[in-house]
Amino acid sequence: MTRMDARLNRERLVATAREVFAELGPGASLNEIARRAGVGPGTLYRHFPQRADLLTAVLRDRIGTLCAQADGLLASAAPDEALEQWLRAFLAHARANHGMGSALMLESPGAPVPDCHRLILDAATGLLVRAQRYGTARNDLTAGDLLQLVVGIALSTARSEDADQPGRLLALVVDAVSASATGRGPARGA
């Protein structure tokens, strides 16, 4: 097997694992992933000796895609539009995640989940700070606040039968992020 074949097999395994984990969750059978990728189990285990290795590769791949999207939006979209588009992409990521970060931490407590979190936080920070500088986003928010809100939407709607609910809730968050929302004070008793 050439290096090119090995690289292609690895890429195919990661792409297939991403689909299978999205469909069946992070506990999906590794043999099923190998079968769907068109390789033998030995090939999968040569590239990913432990489940945590494959989970890490899939998570890093997804995070890389989100970060690249943030970079592209920073360069091409209006600040408020860039932030909203990226928050929508992050919500889709969080909903498709099926607890991969949690599963990874259980599989391998030393796993690089904090590194992945830092990359996402940096991407969100760049978009939010730009929107704040242009006066289109509240100055009293942090990227961590936004990420926590979006993850909350993903978790709270995971079993919702209303397919539109996540989008409606995100629209509320986007409205709350708007600089025009800064006139709103904290709720009484909060």
| 183: Cβ contacts below 8 Å, ≥ 6 apart | none
Domain encompassing residue 13 = 1-49
- Write the CATH number for 3: 1.10.10
The structural domain count of the chain equals 2
Same domain (yes/no): 98, 142: yes
Q: For 46-67, write each residue's pLDDT tens digit.
A: 999 999 899 889 988 999 999 9
| pLDDT at site 185 | 36
Same domain (yes/no): 32, 59: no
Same domain (yes/no): 41, 135: no
Same domain (yes/no): 62, 154: yes
Tens digit of pLDDT at every position of the chain (190 positions): 688 888 999 999 999 999 998 888 888 999 999 999 999 999 999 999 999 899 889 988 999 999 999 999 999 999 999 999 999 999 998 888 756 665 555 555 555 566 778 899 999 999 999 999 999 999 999 999 999 999 889 888 988 899 999 999 999 999 999 988 655 433 334 3
Q: How many residues does the chain have?
A: 190
Same domain (yes/no): 24, 64: no
| pLDDT at site 56 | 86
Residue 190 lies in a domain: no
pTM: 0.80
Give the phi and the psi of residue 178 in degrees, each rounded to 5.
Answer: -55, 140
Same domain (yes/no): 26, 82: no
